[in-house]
Structure 1
């Protein structure tokens, strides 16, 4: 097999690529406003209750009207998934992998179309949308290859007169609850991992980006996925969320989203209901409060660039985004000045024309939460850049920087999920690492330094799941930087890594006397 290599990003300075994206946006514009059904056992189910998906850059623009599942639909989907599992679990793993390989090829051919839909429904700038689509392709191909690696189990020792085997078998029916910030990549990755390992799935995508998920379902069907393996049931968490988590036939829950919801799911999944035969497994990625540490022995231009790009890429709506920087006091003023200069040059607006670094935040709820934290930041520190919004047409927040804050202030401790970063001082490198660790989260972090001893100190003591040296703290690549965090960032379920598929299976030992 050809060695794994991640999907390359598109260079939109090339005129041919730019025109291809503009054509894709035109194509997506042609199917805006359609009605979308549920998909249960391959059957399209249109409901009266539909949720309007809209463009966060232009709120009056409707992406689609998406049917909403009730508990009755969810129960039906569960029954279908449970029945389908009895045959799907016995299929050839190589065949299941082939479905993923073909799906990857289909999306690669339609790469700009999916990116255009991400621009429209999620408000992603071109480069962020392209990276999302590329990561989706990476997940499909990486997990297909991983299944081929694991399909014959793992070697264990045998004694004379005895033959032992250790095989992986699927768990059963899984519930996938996917987020809006990576509505293609994370949604696809968390869906196909259980699929390729022989499980069946109830997919509940984010209400903000359900059209993207529907289009992905079409790709899986085209790639040869049998009916009932993945059942698409968008709906409100209030109506069906607890119901599918609590269900006696739910074997595992794969969740990406906020800490509060993740903890809620974890608690509910722990309860054993009457008739339940298995303890439920939870795979959770619950956000972060990610820190870039800038040492005195650092490239300060690189430090400022890393802070700004990590804080404001996709308007800070990444669990890996830099929302806090800890800078040694002897270089603090210089770093702050460089961050100010770079942040003030960023432009904000509708990403459709590829003229702006930042697009919108996803919805009114996010907008209002960010505004509240900006007011908190004004009380806790000094507003250096931004602090304003533009809400006339879309949900736009300007890049915002607070300085002279303390590492334990609220804006340095609580996840904001928007384009807001705080910068605090530390007297030395050891204190900087102590401050960096002093949050409830432990997802990503970065250290900018040319001091090798400090790099090794951070490798040992900076307690995060993904630690980067002399670069920003966002942008993990599937197969290169397995992604997942510690503490309240989740279950350290390393997406795109060698352990991830095993989370969707259970080990079975067989021993034969010869």
Structure 2
């Protein structure tokens, strides 16, 4: 395989976002949506080794913004297919692990270029399958490109670390440290970033020399299939990525407990993440290693505002963090804790901004779209009813019209820090506002959660900011900005406590999770 000369690899830079203020970009997205719509309702096979497998059982992917519209019918793996995929991945690993790191990285560079050329097409499919608007889908696709570009460079760096960061030398010995792949991994990405996180988790594993069994979320399997097709198009050897959507209880548990599984990379709910961690901890007969679990499990993120803050900026950040993609982000700011002297003013501004959000079809680029499926829809509406007994309903609080899973962006005020809507991850367009007597109590209230993923602190006082940087307990803390919107290479992403293993996706130590360090010492 021809690889780009090392001196021609450009320094990493984040993929620019599309400016939808320009009419030509809006028109390009509309054209991409029309193209994707002309291809709806297709059948999508499993991919195991070099084989396409059609199964009788299907996953029906539905547009959450228009439930009469079927995105596609995806073959559904069972345990038998999962075992075949495991054997294909094991066999491929024996050759893939020997492929030079530079060559593995080149597949990612090629895929990034191809995705960049088809950016709107990927975004349009994601928009229809997951309910994202133009901006949210565009950012997701840009992040997928970022992950491939960043991890390709990272693998090259790790493969040359003996030259760039040599070990200390002693007379009479030649010592080297290399990073070698683990083996076969199970990759279980979420539906809320169905392209970016799927691409990031998968490409991090394969560029490190591993082979993977990719089990995408059952609500967004078609966008994952499109990614796998693209990797085939750039020439990735068959069996490096095996595409096997299926039931978590059947396929997920089977592969997690499989003796040949070397690692599980998971992003999703706390409950599922803890189950995976527990299952992976047990040693299966024939297993000769401790399985590695890389888990990002969500959060109950919040924004703290003190009385010195820019209140307009704080209110805008609260609304954006709470309601971007309908609050369906693990980084979503579903809590705001405001010092009492400015509480009423901030709450009023947040409500006003929330009520400006228009609800409707993502393909028409409304600010607020549907939640992902009927299960989420029912759960979020249940939490809204709980919230009505735990705080004061300031706006929203009901279903929204439309042939999909639409819910009004909802704000509750005067919520106790111990209330369920302040403690439990809702994963929907529901925001709880709480009042604190001062900034230190506000930080204590922020920290009073089992999670620790993202947070924001708004203040103009440098001494308070310095203390907040030390005492606010989360993996990603932002000052005077929203708590969503981490950029690859800029904001390595991962959290504390029940938010997961703090794996720092998009960071300089992430690939170490998919490799093992081997020291070789040779007498000179």
2:147 is matched with 139
**1:431 paired residue number:** 441
Query: Which residue of structure 2 lines up, in the alignment, with residue 80 of structure 1?
Result: 88
1:231 equivalent among 219, 242, 245: 242
SS in 2 for 1:424: strand
What secondary structure does 1:488 align onto? Answer: helix
Q: Distance in 2 between matches of 1:391 and 1:62?
A: 20
SS of 2:293's equivalent in the other structure is strand
Q: Calculate the aligned-residue CA RMSD, in Å.
A: 0.8
Deviation at 1:133, TM superposition (A): 0.3
Distance in 2 (alpha carbons) for counterparts of 1:425 and 1:509: 54
Would you say how many aligned residue pairs link Structure 1 and Structure 2? 513
- The residue that corresponds to 1:257 in the other structure is 268
Determine the C-alpha separation between the residues in 1 that align with 2:447 and 2:265: 26
TM-score, with normalisation over the residues of structure 2?
0.97
1:31 is matched with which residue?
39
Residue ranges of structure 1 left out of the alignment (5+ in a row): none
Could you tell me whether the CA contact under 8 Å between 1:68 and 1:234 is conserved in 2?
A: yes
Post-superposition offset of 1:392? 5.0
Report the Cα distance in structure 2 between the residues aligned to 1:495 and 1:316, rounded to whole angstroms.
21
SS in 1 for 2:369: coil
388-397 vs 175-184, greater mean Cα deviation: 388-397
Asked if the contact 1:153/1:168 (under 8 Å) is kept, the reply is no
Displacement after TM superposition at 1:390 (Å): 2.7
CA deviation digits over 1:347-371, x for unaligned, max 9? 11101012x2111000010001101
Q: Which residue of 2 aligns with 1:118?
A: 126
Distance 1:223 1:143 in 2: 17
Normalised to the residue count of structure 1, the TM-score between the two structures is: 0.99
Candidates 405, 411, 420, aligned match of 1:401: 411
Distance 1:484 1:353 in 2: 33
In structure 1, distance between residues paired with 2:245 and 2:107: 23
Aligned with 2:502: secondary structure? Answer: coil
Task: State the match for 2:299 in structure 1.
Answer: 288
CA positional deviation for 1:238 = 2.0
Structure 2 residue 497 is the aligned partner of structure 1 residue 487: yes
Structure 1 partner of 2:3 = none
- Map 1:83-482 → 2, pairs under 5 A: 83-154=91-162, 155-354=166-365, 356-390=366-400, 393-482=403-492
Task: Return the offset for 1:153.
Answer: 3.8
Report how far residue 42 of structure 1 moved: 2.0
Per-residue CA distance 1:146-165 (angstroms, 9 max, x = gap):
01100134422221011111
Contact 2:96–2:240 (CA under 8 A) maintained in structure 1:
yes
Mapped to 2, the partners of 1:216 and 1:351 lie a distance apart of 21
Q: Distance in 2 between matches of 1:22 and 1:32?
A: 16
Contact 1:93/1:197 (8 A) holds in 2: yes
Q: Is the 8 Å Cα contact of residues 65 and 405 (structure 2) preserved in structure 1?
A: yes
- Corresponding position of 1:44: 52
Quote the Cα distance in structure 2 between the aligned partners of 1:392 and 1:13: 26
* SS of the residue 1:379 aligns to: helix
Residue 172 of structure 1 and its aligned partner are, at CA, apart by: 0.1
Q: Distance in 1 between matches of 2:91 and 2:161?
A: 25
The equivalent of 1:61 in structure 2 is 69
Q: Tell me how far apart the structure 2 counterparts of residues 380 and 284 of structure 1 sit (CA, whole Å).
A: 31
Runs (4+) of structure 1 exceeding 3 A deviation are none
State which of 14, 17, 37 in structure 1 corresponds to 2:25.
17
